[in-house]
Amino acid sequence: MSAPHPIGGLPTEALPQLYLDGVSRAFDGFKAINNLSLVIDKGELRAVIGPNGAGKTTMMDIITGKTRPDTGQVLWEQSVDLTKLDEADTARLGIGRKFQKPTVFESHTVEDNLALALKADRSPWATLFHRTTAAETARIDELLGLIRLGNLRDWMAGSLSHGQKQWLEIGMLLAQDPQLLLIDEPAAGMTDAETMWTADLLKSIAGERSVIVVEHDMEFVRALDCKVTVLHQGSVLAEGRLETVSAMPEVIEVYLGR
């Protein structure tokens, strides 16, 4: 319906991992996403900020096929039309998502949580007759180390602390071995130390994977030290380094201003 917005600083040589153009979605007349366009490069780390109701969650819903956009196109690696797929498809395609409220499988052990997330055949038959392999165990150990839950592998996930659940969920994301990670407010409810550590973790992930982080916590965003997209009323208000955008009057007006 509308022409693609000019996007500042897109390195022309890199292939976009994800490409949203003129995407809109309304709920009962309220436009949650309004003519949104966004491009994420392979391996890019991108922070998305914006006030409540700016459409961050809906954007993620659209990318992961949970919500169908009314208009606009969403392309994966310039070929796959994500608007045709549902959550399971996009997940199998290599898009991992972490919810705002950490959701892990509370009645399974930490280990099972990771095991269930591991990249593998997801069909009922496969899972029915599945036997755990040494490779899988090794990968699980590795992840447990990475998210610092090695000593809790047999705990019920339900009994973990909030922060630990955050990490476990990130761990499950990594276990999926996705190309793109969508991460919704990872720092929520973490100590400063944990926050910083999480930021490092994400930066280390970026590079071979693309990462989109939605966050309120400016400290955290600054720590990420990456390109920032400011969403407002369902469309891109500004894009660039945090310093640059946070200097823009309109951004201050809608967001930092308060």
Partner 1 sequence: MLIDRRLGIFLAGLFVLVVVVPAGNLWLAGQPVPTYLVALIGKYLCYALLAVALDLVWGFCGILSLGHGAFFALGGYAMGMYLMREIGDRGVYANPTLPDFMVFIGWKQLPWYWWGFDHFWFAASMVLLVPGALAFVFGWFTFRSRVAGVYLSIITQAMTYALMLAFFRNEMGFGGNNGLTDFKDVLGYDLGGGGTKVGLMVLSAVALAAGLLLARAITVSRLGKVLVCLRDAESRTRFLGYRVEHYKLFIFTVSAMMAGVAGALYVPQVGIINPSEFSPANSIEIVIWVALGGRGTLVGAALGAILVALAKTLLTGWLPEVWLFALGAMFVLVTIGLPTGVLGALEGGLARTRRAPEPAEREA
Partner 2 sequence: MRFLLRAALVLLALVGGTAAGAADFGALVAALPAGSYSDRAKVVDDLAQSGDPRALAVLNALAADDLKVMPDGTVVIVDDKGAAKAAVDGTDKGTPAADQLDRVKVNNAVRRAVRTAIGVLTLRDPDPAKRLAAAREALRAADPDQIDAVDSALAAETDPAVKALLAEARAAAVLKSDAPAADQLAAIKLLAARGDDAAIAALAPLAGAQNPEIAQAVKSALASIAETQRLWGLAQNVWFGLSLGSVLLLAAVGLAITFGVMGVINMAHGELVMLGAYSTFAVQQVIRLHAPGLFDWSLVIAAPVAFVVAGAVGVAIERGIVRHLYGRPLETLLATWGVSLILQQAVRTIFGPDNREVGNPGWMSGAFTLGQLQITWNRLWILIFALAVFAVLLAVLKRTPIGLQMRAVTQNRAMAANMGIRTGRVDALTFGLGAGIAGLAGVALSQIDNVSPNLGQGYIVDSFMVVVFGGAGNIWGTLAGAFSLGVANKFLEPFAGAVLGKILILVGIILFIQKRPRGLFAVKGRSVEA
Q: Which residues bind partner 2 (CB under 8 A)?
A: 27-28, 30, 32, 57-58, 61, 66-67
The SS3 call for residue 82 is helix
Q: Which residues bind partner 1 (CB under 8 A)?
A: 64, 66, 86-88, 91-92, 96-97, 99, 103-108, 112, 115-117, 122-124, 127-130, 156, 158, 172, 176
Write down the least CB distance from residue 36 to partner 2, Å.
16
- Residue 46 CB-half CA count within 13 A: 24
Cβ proximity to partner 2: between 30 and 122 the closer is 30
Written as six digits, the tokens of 220 are 């955290």
Cβ proximity to partner 1: between 88 and 247 the closer is 88
Cβ proximity to partner 1: between 127 and 191 the closer is 127
Are the C-beta atoms of 80 and 93 separated by less than 8 Å? yes
Written as six digits, the tokens of 250 are 């309109």
Other C-beta atoms closer than 10 Å to the C-beta of 102 total 22
Cβ proximity to partner 1: between 42 and 108 the closer is 108
From partner 1, partner 2, none, interface partner of 129 (C-beta below 5 to 8 A by class): partner 1
From partner 2, partner 1, none, interface partner of 141 (C-beta below 5 to 8 A by class): none
Question: Residue 228 contacts by C-beta under 8 Å, 6 or more apart in sequence?
Answer: 46, 47, 48, 49, 221, 239, 240, 241, 242, 245
